[in-house]
């Protein structure tokens, strides 16, 4: 099974925006935005995703990637 990877850091660099600037625009703390940026979250609210996209003038697909998991599943040995 694959996983969703956030590429927020890449989009912030492309847009020339800092963590502090984006946190202020989105209305969340720097700590929570940093967790999102560094893929240390298991979920993100659609309202937060929408606010990020609005602030960075991008689409969700610009910051969300699906990555195939290369690890084989256990065979139950």
Q: What percentage of the chain reaches a pLDDT higher than 90?
A: 87
Q: Return the structure tokens found at 21.
A: 């600037």
43: how many CB neighbours lie within 10 A of its CB? 6
User: Whole-model pTM?
Assistant: 0.85
Which residue has 């996209």 as its token pair?
53
What number is the average pLDDT over the span 4-21? 96
pLDDT per residue over 40-69, tens digit each?
999 999 999 999 999 999 999 999 999 998
Domain 2-67 has CATH 1.10.260.40: yes
pLDDT for the residue numbered 52: 98
pLDDT of 22 over the 70 cut: yes
């Amino acid at each position: 099974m694959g996983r969703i990877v956030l590429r927020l850091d890449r989009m912030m660099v492309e847009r020339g925006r800092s963590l502090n600037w984006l946190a202020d625009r989105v209305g969340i703390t720097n700590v929570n935005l940093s967790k999102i940026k560094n893929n240390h979250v298991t979920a993100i609210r659609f309202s937060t995703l929408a606010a990020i996209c609005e602030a960075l003038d991008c689409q969700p697909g610009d910051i969300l990637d699906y990555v195939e998991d290369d690890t084989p599943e256990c065979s139950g040995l």
